[in-house]
Chain A
Amino acid sequence: MATLTQPTSLREHVVPIAAGDHVVATRWLKQGLVFALADGRVLRWRDGATDSVEAHAGGILCATGDNDRLISGGDDGRVVATRFEGEPEELAKDPKRRWVDAITLSPSGHLAWNTGKTVHARDEKGRVRTLEAASTPQGLVFAPKGYRLAVAQMNGVSLWYPNTEAKPEFLDWKGSHLDAAWSPDGRFVVTSMQENALHGWKLGDRPGHMRMTGYPAKPRSLSWSHDGLWLASSGADGAIVWPFQGDGPQGKAPRECGVRHARVTRVAFHPGALVLAIGYDDGCILLVRLTDGSELLVRPAERGSGISAFAWDKAGKRLAFGAEDGAAGVLTLPA
């Protein structure tokens, strides 16, 4: 069902891409765009020309990266870096072929991934340290500064300094914690939970818990605004955006953006403006401006084509998206 006033459309600014399989992640590299696919391939796209390489023997489960590489974890137990040119490079391989469910890269080049309950952290010099989590982690994220890793797991989050022998600090909260996000100012750690909620911890001198509940589904996609003052989340019929000014969202109401008769599956904040890309399970994509709630239509609903991946380019001029049926595309914002 359409919203009452039909949003202005950006549809003619979208170039479609046939990615060919469930898009697990997408990322802009210096030379072009890459898609990590559930069949193990990485598709490279530049100005309409595509090629693909087989990065994993099985499927890709998760991906991260920087300007030069897409780094993926697969169900073949491997961690693989794929550049825009050349063959994929294997960074790690689990002898038991355990799944790599989570992977993350810090701005300074620290890489972390899991194989089963074991968390591996690799510093910029390539030294790998490991930590045993209480359960298989699905959410790993580095602190914005320093070599410190948050590991979401059963009943809480470990904060681990891989280069020290110190026991990780454990932020406890009963339940199963899935994805993890660390605020750009370093003050908050937030997880998505099995119980259709977010849980947050305020770190520092006056620590505190934040409970963000009321979602009809698990909020599996999280995105910080460029100024770090807002956290957008999926899992409801609109994007739920929590205010992180001051002491955080406890006791404050979130914004609800782009409410439709569908479920939000992916969210991605613009890298330089308070504009949020919202993808839904019915295939629709909207851009919503947080300040006034105005909406722009990027992609109309398309059956069986739920949105599974987003990536803004660095300049915020282009938005790449991918869907569960292998459809994908690039929106170029009109000048």
Chain B
Amino acid sequence: MSEKIPVTVLTGYLGAGKTTLLNRILTEEHGKKFAVIVNEFGEAGIDGDLIVGADEEIFEMNNGCICCTVRGDLIRILDGLMKRKGKFDAIIVETTGLADPAPVAQTFFVDQDVGDATRLDAVVTVTDAKWLKDRLKDAPEAKNQIAFADVIILNKTDLVSPEELAEVEAQIRAINPYARLEKAERCNVEIASLLDRKAFDLDRILDIEPDFLEAGHHHHHAEDVRSISLTIPGDVDPEKFMPWINEIAQIQGPSILRSKGILAFKDEPRRFVFQGVHMILDGDLQRDWKAGEKRESRLVFIGRGLNENELRKGFEACAA
């Protein structure tokens, strides 16, 4: 079985700096060749042999899963690109500024041909230090893009004061404390740090600690999109947990953007790890709990309008 081609999804609100980043990825020497799928009505022109215009053709799968939307154009384009395997090492999918990243991400889990040939590596979101505050007020898409991200580039930091920067950073963290945050001016991040993240790879979910270590840093922004972290200091009963998490995914899937978990199952030497996008959950038993490693069970949900108390009670009832 040949290696799957990694796909990086690049999102970000209009004007945040996606095109700048894309042009850097395409022109800099980093020893990799990319096929790039851009949205047809992109912000600025980029050109090249393996640049493909996409149309954001979103449709709902007929599988009874109401939030299970996928990108039909992406399936078609990836199928076409796979005939030219060997011409590129990785694929970047640029989305429009207004796009919800979920249909793109779900495409990789729902379409078997796409899933066989490629793997979703990470969702990278470019944000703008100067205007993000306003966008979070008036554009729900901007919030979704941050909530969904594995890597967030906080761009244009040179255009704001240190206080404003701290404020906008806190706002991002209130929505998504788990993504890796890279501060940048004119998108001057190290390209290698954005690629090969394997953010959706179960083997790479080692911990789900927040990305920052500023203890006592409590900003209470009343965000409707936020993350909820739940911990049981010990084992859970899989007979209780599995039906519960499946029910949560079924009923609250539309509001849950991303989820992750590392769990200690009773009488199971291995860690159970899962990750999810809306209703789609992907989980497996992973490595053994190490000697001296504390067996505990932890879940993270990032979503809109989640009921923390209800989720906590439900999870705690799964304790072994």
A176 at interface by CB-CB < 8 Å: yes
Asked, given contacts A135-B72, A135-B73, whether A195 binds B62 with beta carbons under 8 Å apart, the answer is yes
B113 touches A39 (CB 8 A): no
Instruction: List the B side residues contacting A75 at CB < 8 Å.
Output: 52, 80
Instruction: List the A side residues contacting B2 at CB < 8 Å.
Output: 304
Asked, given contacts A59-B80, A195-B63, whether A176 binds B72 with beta carbons under 8 Å apart, the answer is yes
Instruction: List the A side residues contacting B52 at CB < 8 Å.
Output: 75, 99
Instruction: List the A side residues contacting B77 at CB < 8 Å.
Output: 99
Partner of B53, one of A59, A98, A155, A324: A98
Q: Which of A22, A154, A194 has the most CB of B within 10 A?
A: A194
Residues from 27 to 44 in B contacting A, C-beta threshold 8 Å: 40
Asked, given contacts A176-B59, A195-B62, A217-B112, whether A136 binds B84 with beta carbons under 8 Å apart, the answer is no
A117 to B56, CA, bound (A): 12
CB distance from A39 to the nearest CB of B (A): 7
A175 touches B53 (CB 8 A): no
B55 at interface by CB-CB < 8 Å: yes
A11 to B83, CA, bound (A): 27
B76 at interface by CB-CB < 8 Å: yes
A20 at interface by CB-CB < 8 Å: no
Instruction: List the A side residues contacting B76 at CB < 8 Å.
Output: 101, 136, 138
CB distance from B5 to the nearest CB of A (A): 15
B61 at interface by CB-CB < 8 Å: yes
Partner of B62, one of A38, A99, A135, A174: A174
Instruction: List the B side residues contacting A38 at CB < 8 Å.
Output: 83-84
Chain B, residues 153-193, CB within 8 Å of chain A (1/0): the string is: 00000000000000000000000000000000000000000
B89 at interface by CB-CB < 8 Å: no
B80 touches A61 (CB 8 A): yes
A248 at interface by CB-CB < 8 Å: no
Q: Which of B49, B83, B84, B85 has the most CB of A within 10 A?
A: B83
A96 at interface by CB-CB < 8 Å: yes
B84 touches A96 (CB 8 A): no
Instruction: List the A side residues contacting B72 at CB < 8 Å.
Output: 135-136, 154, 176, 194
Chain A, residues 292-331, CB within 8 Å of chain B (1/0): the string is: 0000000000001000000000000000000010000000
A24 at interface by CB-CB < 8 Å: yes
B316 at interface by CB-CB < 8 Å: no
A116 at interface by CB-CB < 8 Å: yes
A99 touches B80 (CB 8 A): yes
Asked, given contacts A24-B83, A176-B72, A194-B72, whether A218 binds B57 with beta carbons under 8 Å apart, the answer is no
B62 touches A59 (CB 8 A): no
Instruction: List the B side residues contacting A58 at CB < 8 Å.
Output: 49
A195 touches B80 (CB 8 A): no
Chain A, residues 14-25, CB within 8 Å of chain B (1/0): the string is: 000000001010
Residue ID in chain B nearest A117 by CB atoms? B55
Partner of B61, one of A39, A61, A138, A194: A194
CB distance from A212 to the nearest CB of B (A): 14
Partner of A175, one of B62, B111, B112, B113: B62
Q: Which of B59, B70, B111, B112 has the most CB of A within 10 A?
A: B59
B75 at interface by CB-CB < 8 Å: yes
B55 touches A39 (CB 8 A): no
Instruction: List the A side residues contacting B63 at CB < 8 Å.
Output: 195
Not counting A39-B84, A135-B73, a sample of 13 additional A-B residue pairs whose C-beta atoms are within 8 angstroms of each other reads: A24-B83, A58-B49, A99-B52, A99-B53, A99-B77, A116-B40, A116-B53, A136-B73, A176-B72, A194-B59, A194-B70, A195-B61, A218-B113
Residues of B at the A interface (CB closer than 8 Å) are 2, 40, 49, 52-53, 55, 57, 59-63, 70, 72-73, 75-77, 80, 83-85, 111-113
13 A-B pairs within 8 Å (CB atoms) are namely: A22-B84, A39-B84, A75-B52, A97-B53, A98-B53, A116-B40, A116-B53, A116-B55, A135-B73, A154-B59, A155-B59, A218-B113, A324-B83
What 9 pairs across the A-B complex have the smallest Cβ distances? A38-B83, A135-B57, A22-B83, A176-B72, A195-B62, A175-B62, A59-B84, A176-B59, A61-B80
